Amino acid sequence: MAGESLSFAAQVKDELSHEIPALDCCRRMELAGLLRASGRLELGGPGRLAVVFSTDHAPVARKILKLMRLTFGLQTVTMVTRRRRLRKNLAYAVRVPPQPGLPEMLRATGIIDEEGSLLEWADLPELEADHCRRAYLRGTFLGSGWVAPPERQHHLEMATASTEAADAIGQMLFGYGINIRVAARKELLILYLKDAGHVTRFLGLVGATDSLLHYEDVRAMKDMKNLVNRQVNAETANLNKTVEAAARQVEALERFLSLGGFARLPGTLRELAALRINHPEASLKELGELCNPPLSKSAVNHRMRQLMQVASREPQSL
């Protein structure tokens, strides 16, 4: 994993950025996802088409450079700026300037058609293959994705400006058993997950194995803490109920004793009444162990109900 100063989302992107697909088709589809998620076209006149990728992560910028060189042999220029707002972090712009082969790359990644018109979506034949779909989803996450640290909440999201692209990505994920939701945010469509199981499935799907293992470790620890807290809360609630019930019993019995009612109690109930007054904090099970002979918890509970019924009446009415 990357250094501790990185956010979890940055750690995931750092991990995904270090692996370059071995297959040429997968490199094209990862670039296609990156282009759709974080790229924009620059039109500078006839034959002056350029592409610019934007990212806040240096490893992602380096991966774009490698994919462009290995897959299409295209030259790139990288510019680094510092943002003026928020955390004032660095921003990276990878520019693919006008050059032979650039239109071919845009057609191969489904960004433009044969006439050079911009496409909302293209059903690329490579996306029929599982490994290429995974590569496309990985590129989409690298270009526009974010995932919350598992210590805080379960939330993963990606963005696209195309309704058709959002539908297509949703169908891809549905095929892997991941149900993604869609919400509008300004001019973008946000595809997001709120289920921990779906988040971890997505991380495994795109190849973020180390991040997935970390997520599962934190999730397991979090679940264990929640289980312990629930058990402690339940035990505390039961203890409070026991203490409150014992206090009511002692109060009723002491009042009954002050009115001279004990003398008329049957011996078995008289023993239990004395034990309750002398051991106000004892549970029913503990009172049963003090009886002679010892009684079960259910037997003590039955006798205590009888005792409370008797104690609730005036001694003269016995």
Question: Measured between alpha carbons, how far is 288 from 275 in angstroms, rounded to an integer?
Answer: 9
Same domain, 49 and 134: yes
Instruction: For residues 66 and 116, state if they share a domain.
Output: yes
pLDDT value, residue 86: 57
User: Can you give the residue range of the structural domain that contains 118?
Assistant: 8-207
Q: Are residues 186 and 97 in the same domain?
A: yes
Within-domain flag for 64: yes
- The answer to whether residue 52 is domain-embedded is yes
CA pair distance 306, 285, nearest whole angstrom: 17
Q: Residue 39 belongs to what H/E stretch?
A: strand 39-43
Q: How large is the angle between the packed helices 58-67 and 24-38, nearest 10 degrees? A: 130
Same domain? 188 vs 234: no
Give yes or no: residues 101 and 139 share one domain.
yes
pLDDT by 10s per residue, the chain, length 318 = 434 468 999 999 999 999 999 999 999 999 999 999 999 999 876 668 899 999 999 999 999 999 999 999 999 999 998 877 656 688 999 999 999 999 999 999 999 999 888 999 999 999 999 999 999 999 999 999 999 999 888 999 999 999 999 999 999 999 999 999 999 998 899 999 999 999 999 999 999 999 999 999 988 887 778 778 888 888 888 878 888 888 888 888 888 888 777 777 787 788 888 888 888 888 888 888 999 899 998 999 888 888 888 877 755 444
In a shared domain, residues 193 and 275? no
- Cα–Cα dist 88/127, whole Å: 38
In a shared domain, residues 232 and 203: no
Give the phi and the psi of residue 40 in degrees, each rounded to 5: -145, 150
Q: Which residues lie across from 146 on neighbouring strands?
A: 157
Q: 306 and 164 share a domain?
A: no
Domain assignment present for residue 76? The answer is yes
State the CATH number of the domain containing residue 198.
3.10.28.10
Indicate whether this model's pTM tops 0.95: no
Establish if 189 belongs to a structural domain. Answer: yes
So what's the pLDDT on residue 157? 97
| Cα(311)–Cα(234) distance, integer angstroms | 31
Peptide bond into 103 cis (omega under 30): no
How many separate domains does the chain show? Answer: 2
Q: Note whether 153 and 251 are same-domain residues.
A: no
- 3-state DSSP assignment of residue 188: strand
Tell me if 2 is assigned to some domain: no
Same domain, 164 and 263: no
171 lies in the same domain as 267? no
pLDDT for res 296: 92
| Per-residue pLDDT at 241 | 83
- Check residue 238 and give its pLDDT: 81
Q: Is residue 300 part of a domain?
A: yes
Q: Are residues 276 and 127 in the same domain?
A: no
Kindly write down the DSSP assignment for every residue of 201-264, as one continuous string: HHHHHHT-HHHHHHHHHHHHHHHHHHHHHHHHHHHHHHHHHHHHHHHHHHHHHHHHHHTT-GGG
Q: Is 216 inside a domain boundary?
A: no
